Amino acid sequence: MKRFPHLVPVLGAAILLAALCFIKPPGGSPADVPIHRSDFLLNTFVDIAIYDSRDESILDGAMALCREYENRFSRTLSGSEVYRLNHREDATGTYPLSDDMTDLLATALYYCERSGGAFDITTEPLSSLWNFSGTSPSVPPAEAIEEARKKVDYKKLRLDGTRSTLTFLDPGTSIDLGAIAKGYIADQLKAYLLDSGVESAMINLGGNVLCVGSRPDGTPFTVGLQKPFADRNETFAQVEVSDLSVVASGVYERHFVEDGKNYHHILDPSTGYPYDNGLISVTILSERSVDGDALSTTCFSLGLSRGMELVESMDGVYACFIDEDYQIHYSDGMEKFLRKD
């Protein structure tokens, strides 16, 4: 375990985990400078950088693909597949799914089951109630939270992967894929880049970072893990990774303070309120970004002990937990990725 040398408190209980950031190696040559494209998509800033090609049309295709997935998985965009499912004509019934939705739901429901419901994709009634992005966010009425909480239960969904259908067993059930969709999209973007002949690239979906291969010279990419309560360029650690995903979840920008108490966006399905389990953040390294996305939220939800146990039961997955005392806890094998200098 390690402690941050210095952290400045903000609004008492308010805490922050911001996006992962790229670290440019010193003395880089012009070949180290990628072509890249940035845009505001998926309700965040998306940046895709390609190191071993100068073909701008590949970036055009990647951004178009990102928009396509946003229009499929967003719970708020009218006409998206998720929106249509949540606003279905029959309150209970079976609905056809796209292949992408079937794949994503299969992974999401796996983590719902693996976490015992601590991670739950049917929290949409709660996430719609809590408004973390509005101009004047506030704690919803207790009665409304309790009413919404009663509608949350992933076991009220039945996925038939063979037939690509989803059955809703309860009229109040609706889904929110915000805790896993960016990871899935990052994986699809990586597949697209590889199909386009790209072997060295970085995909950053608002802090969900996925490395395609290594740098052109064969060295790993460096990703900075931002220090809480600090400027975006200040890191508490840097990891060196090749062909891996780095995803962080925690108590960061999407939060507000009311009556001296901090409220953040990771909601506990059992209470309807944000988790309060002694953690600030969880960072996951994994091969697939969809696993890292789901696990960062799942492990945060489970807390330090159970979250660490889950990570260490899985092959090729590594984690860094930060608790409210600002101690850093690494899973077995995680420290080998830490940059030493």
Rg (CA), the chain: 20
Contact 239, 286 (CB under 8 A): no
pLDDT score for 228 = 67
Q: Round to whole Å and give the CA distance between 22 and 31.
A: 17
How is the chain split into domains, by residue range? 2-71+199-251+278-337
Do 269 and 152 meet the contact criterion of CB atoms below 8 Å apart? yes
pTM: 0.90
Predicted local distance difference test score (pLDDT) of residue 306? 97
List the structure tokens of 20: 């992962």
Supply the pLDDT for residue 185.
98
pLDDT at 2: 43
Mean pLDDT by 10 residues, the chain (341 residues): 34 28 50 88 94 97 97 95 96 96 98 97 95 85 97 98 97 96 98 98 94 97 81 83 95 82 91 95 97 97 98 97 94 95 71
Position 112: which residue type? Answer: C
Count of C-beta atoms within a 10 Å radius of residue 37:
16
Q: What is the CATH number of domain 2-71+199-251+278-337?
A: 3.10.520.10
pLDDT score at 19? 40
CB 298 within 8 A of CB 307: yes
Give the pLDDT score at 132. Answer: 84
pLDDT at 160 (0 to 100): 98
Rounded Cα distance, 165 and 173, in Å: 16
Distance CA 73, CA 108 (A): 13
Distance (Å, whole) CA 326 – CA 322: 6
Which pLDDT score, from 0 to 100, does residue 179 have?
95
Nearest alpha carbon to residue 232 among 43, 33, 17: 17
